[in-house]
Structure formats: C-alpha cells, structure tokens
Structure 1
C-alpha cells in the first residue's frame, strides 16, 4: 500500500464520484479505478459501492477512512519537519566559549543573529578553557566552540577566524609605566613578573604571549598563573605583576588596572569558531555562517565609523 492509494481513496470518498476524484487528483478515471481496485484487493474488502451516478462507502470503507484520514497531513508534516532538520532549522547545538570571548561584540552578535534566524534550535552553552572545549568537540559533546586555536588542534579541528586581537599590556595603576596615555615597549616589562594563563589551559594565548616576548628580545619571567583573564586582571590590580592580554579585554574595566597599547609589532591573537574537520551538521554550518557574517559586519562598522 502506497501513500497515493490513500490519497486516491480519500478523494473518491470525499467527492463520492470516481470521475470528480480523478479530476481532483489529476489522473484519468480508468487508472484511478484500477488503483482503488488494487487497494481493495490489498485490504481484502470492498471499500465502495459503485453506483450509476457515483460511489458510496461500504461499512468497511467508512472504517478504513476513519483510520487513514490523517495519514496525508501527517506525512506532509513529517516531510516538512525533515526538510527543516535538513536545513539545520531544528535540533540542538552544543556551543562552547572561552570566558574572554563572552564580551567580544562579534560573539554576542553571532549568537543573537543565530537565535533570531533559527528560533527552534536549542542552544546548549558551555563556558570553559580552550583545552576543555577542544576536547568537547572531539567527544561530540559540542558542535562548535569559540576558542583560541593551537597548531596541535589543527590536526582534527577546523578554525574559522572571526577576530584578530592585538596584544596590550595590563599594568597596576601605580606602575612606573602606567602614567599618561602613550604606548609602552614590551621590552620595558622584561623584568616584571608576568601573570599568565597556564599553557595546559590556554595554549593559544600562552604561546602567542611568549612569542611576543621573544620577538621583543627577552624570555618572560613568569609570575602567578591564573585560569581566566578576569582573574589575571584582578592579580594585576593587586600588584602581583603585569599581564599581556587581547586588546578587546580592556572593556572589562577592572579597578586598579591601566591598559597600554604596545609599541612592538607583535603577533595577534586569533579568536575562532572551531568545529570538527569531518563535521556535517547543517546546524553547525548555519552557526559558522552567522559568526562569519557578524565578523564581517563588525569589521565594516569599525572601518567606516
């Protein structure tokens, strides 16, 4: 029994005429009559009384109609839902983000745009370190993660860059270089304890900061470690040392901390949407597209304002 048999049967039942039903479904009357006879043979019962001027349901036909009348609409709804799922319009997206990305306007814009475009996709958000989020991608717990990339992760993860942050110095307000508004040379901080996130927690940021120090001609003197940038800035305010952080983080505005641009030409710190290299989810693809669009719009806004 095929769906068309049900459709043909219901058309005849509603029109009470093989001729009118054939016109309605767009086939000739003889083929329609054969399809109904095939259906009756499969059911094992006569479904219609053939009358001189139409067709009338038998008792078996009335019972059969009651049982199958919802099938066409149910099938249409199933097709619609399947098509929406195929377009990534429904389902669940596990989305991870490092703590420092939360205040980035591109990230908030991407999430807002995605939720507006796909309101029936459930977002399950997770905040953690880049290392934990990269593991979440590999385990399949997450579909996408906003992280700082590392070369090691590039083996099985794909990165879509949405922001390139310049590095800047975070100094205690009483620091000798904190006065004024000018930039500072990274080399002037060579003897200062450097507050930094441990490499096992944030390899991308750790490696970039260390590379910047080496390009400035010195090996960093590591001070207190901190798992998050907010913690780093609190330690700077408490005069445990200085920090080198992404420029976007100055929005945190921690009391007791002064931010200074760096004179040095140093490597930038990329913020990316990471996904598995073999990722095939349309939901993930849709989020990446929204993140790229948000990044493009933000860059255009900043360039033209």
Structure 2
C-alpha cells in the first residue's frame, strides 16, 4: 500500500490493536503469530487490513527484518494507551456489575443507631466494599418506605410491623427486647421489673405511627395480652422525644431496650415482668432491585441476619 493512500472505511477493532502490538513487540510475524495462537498468514492479513484502515504503512518489511515506520511507532504508543483504557473500562464495568463500586442511599429510624445494628452492618459493608459511596439519612419510617418505593432510597432500616409498598420486602436483622420507660415519680419506678397489668390506668406515649404500625402496635398488643387496652396519649416524633415526654410526666412508654443508651434526667427504664416482649428491626429493600450495589447490601444484610443468634 502506497503512503498517503486514503484510509479504508472498515472498522478498527480491538483485535487489530492486539495483533499490531504483538507484532510491533516481536518484530517477527512468526513469533507474534505463535504468541497470539493464530496462523502466520492470518496475522499478516490482519496487519494488512489495519494498514488499510489507518491509511499508511505501519511496518517497513524486508526479506530479513520487520521494522516500525514512524507512523507505526506513534501508533503503537497510542494503541497501548487505548488497550489500557479499554481494560480499565472493562474492570470498572465488571466491578459495578458485582456491586463493588457505585452509590447507595440508606434511610434509617433513629433507634436503629441506638441498637448498634445500623453502625455494625454499615461498617462491615464499608470494609467489604470500600469504594461504594454511602448516603445515609435518618428519616421517619413511612417516609423511608415511600422514598424506597419511588427509587430515592435503596435501603431502609425500619421497625415492623409496617405496611409495605408493592414489591418491597424486609429482612429481619435484630430481635430486641422491649422495656418500659417510666418517670422517676411513678409509684412503680423503683421495682426491679414491672408487670404491664399494673399500668392499666396509665397514659401510654407512642411514636407518630398509625394504628397497627411498629411501636403503636407493640404497645396495644402487649397491653391487650396483659388484659387491658391502653389509654393512648400524646405521640412523639422519635424515641428521644418520647423519653423526654416520659421524663416530664406526660405518660409511660414501651421502648426498645437499646434506648437505655439515651439517659434523660427524671427517666427510669425497667424491664417488663414475665414473658419478654420483642420488637424487630429489619432492612427493607426492593424485591427486584436493578442496582448491583443495592443488591450487594441486601445480600450482606441476609448473611448478617443468618449469622445472628438474635434473629429467628
């Protein structure tokens, strides 16, 4: 092919670059063909095709030697960059497909942090997937599930029972004892354990949940099992608010045991006498999750739940 010939309209492919670089490094068609595990005539034809695509000779051939032309030397330098970039692109895509890189948005109820389950699970996930970017927000539970349904969140830490949008599932990660929060001034605050039946005349403070949801349901169900229906009073935005409301004497409350990490003056935590009352902490996620990194977190949660003796 004469120098200056118009380039071919054929498509340049990665195999052309690999064949060219092997030949450029060996400067011998026979050794290059052996290295590439192809026949020498096939390699010669591929190099010829490449030169037609480029539009200029890349090798100076004689009977005794093969040398790179100036165009060939410059092309080799760029070809190596192109192959390295291609390998990087493939690696990034494969890692993203395995959920090793990317971004995940996580919502959680505050009590998930008190229990240690949130920090433990996210900490372990970060160790396993250090290049995943985490966006973590404390959020009211029903708002979390709404944003999960809309695709604005990928993972939620919630406290069932709670109605789930279609296509959302939960993974239990912790079963936690439910205890009583009493004001210091309460007649039963000094007891080692308090029977729920003794609180039939008290006002119970619950989170801002509809009937049948989370600690609203735990409160009414536990009291019914103790033989009475609770007098429901004011509601708190979160358990820290509820603890403060109890401390100032607005009522009593059923709270997760992990809330004992929050100490408020005028507040006593006491176990419920008799059979333990348990509440669940769960991870909510989409059943058919398109994001590999969110699927990786859900799988991480399932492994953690399976390994935890506190989850049945």
Q: Equivalent residue for 2:219?
A: 209
| CA deviation vs aligned residue, 1:15-71 (integer Å, no higher than 9, x gap) | 222122223323232221111112222333322221122212234433433432311
1:138 partnered with 2:149:
yes
Instruction: Give the whole-Å Cα distance in 2 for the aligned partners of 1:155 and 1:76.
Output: 40
Structure 1 residues 297 and 152: alpha-carbon distance in aligned structure 2, compared to 1, 3 A threshold = closer
1:90 aligned residue: 101
SS at match of 1:73: helix
CA distance in 2, matches of 1:166, 1:257: 18
TM-score normalized with structure 2 length? 0.88
Number of equivalences: 300
Is the 8 Å Cα contact of residues 171 and 257 (structure 1) preserved in structure 2?
yes
Distance in 1, Cα, partners of 2:307 & 2:240:
27
Tell me, yes or no, if structure 1 residue 291 matches structure 2 residue 308. no
Maintained 8 Å contact 2:109/2:157? yes
Structure 1 Cα separation of the partners of residues 64 and 57 of structure 2 = 18
Stretches of 4+ moved more than 6 A in 1?
none
Q: Equivalences for 1:118-129 in 2 at 5 Å?
A: 118-129=129-140
Residues 146 and 202 of structure 1: CA distance in aligned 2, closer, same or farther (over 3 Å) = farther
CA shift digits 1:196-240 (9 cap, x unpaired): 112249932212222222222222212221110011011111111
Report the counterpart of residue 185 of structure 1 in structure 2: 195
Q: Map of 1:15-164 to 2, 5 A cutoff? A: 15-153=26-164, 155-164=166-175
**Unmatched segments (≥5 aa) in structure 2:** 1-11
Q: Is residue 160–residue 281 contact of structure 2 (8 Å, CA) maintained in 1?
A: yes
Unaligned runs of 5+ in 1: none
Task: State the distance in 1 between where 2:254 and 2:139 align.
Answer: 20
TM-aligned CA distance change 1:218 to 1:201, over 3 Å: closer
* SS in structure 2 at match of 1:70: helix
Cα shift readout 1:137-174 (whole Å, capped 9, x = no counterpart): 11111110111133521643110000112221111122
Contact 2:215 2:254 in 1 (8 A): no
